[in-house]
């Protein structure tokens, strides 16, 4: 008998049509179908979802928090991307 730990899955739930799937937590399961079943039982006991995604945690590629400052730096000095950067003349409307 094998005693290996079941793989970890991340669970994403769409709470209702029109909204995106959002990370809810994680579960362990032996295979994909059992992961869906376990995610349903664990995270939607009160009708919190209309759709579930499960994905093996090991398949997620994530940015490194230690590198976050450098990684997101290029966006920092481009404040002209925000509408508030522009001063509109007094009296002009619908802008």
Partner 1 sequence: MYTQGLDQKGQADSASNGAESPADLDAFQKRIDNEEKIEPKDWMPEAYRRTLIRQISQHAHSEIIGMQPEGSWLTRAPSLKRKAILLAKVQDEAGHGLYLYGAAETLGVSRDQMVGDLLSGKSKYSSIFNYPALTWADIGAIGWLVDGAAIMNQIPLCRCSYGPYARAMIRVCKEESFHQRQGYDIMVQLCKGSDAQKAMAQDALNRWWWPSLMMFGPTDKDSQHSAQSMAWKIKRFSNDELRQKFIDATVPQGEFIGLSVPDEDLKLDKKTGHYSHGEIDWQEFIEVIKGNGPCNKQRMAKRRKAHDDGAWVRAAAHAYAEKQRNI
The residues binding partner 1 (CB under 8 A) are 1-6, 8, 25-31, 34, 41-42, 45-46, 62, 64-66
Nearest approach in angstroms of CB 18 to partner 1 is: 22
Residue closer to partner 1, measured from CB, 42 or 51: 42
- As a whole number of Å, the end-to-end CA separation of the chain is 69
CB 13 within 8 A of CB 51: yes
State the DSSP H helix or E strand holding residue 55, giving kind and residue range, or none if neither: strand 51-56
Residue closer to partner 1, measured from CB, 2 or 20: 2
């Amino acid at each position: 008998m094998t005693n290996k730990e079941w793989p970890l899955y991340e669970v994403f739930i769409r709470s209702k049509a029109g909204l995106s799937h959002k990370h809810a937590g994680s579960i362990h399961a032996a295979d994909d179908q059992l992961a869906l079943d376990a995610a349903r039982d664990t995270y939607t006991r009160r009708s919190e979802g209309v759709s579930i995604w499960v994905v093996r945690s090991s398949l997620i590629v994530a940015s490194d928090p230690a590198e976050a400052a450098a990684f997101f730096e290029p966006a920092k000095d481009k404040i002209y991307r925000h509408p508030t950067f522009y001063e509109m003349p007094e009296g002009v409307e619908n802008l």
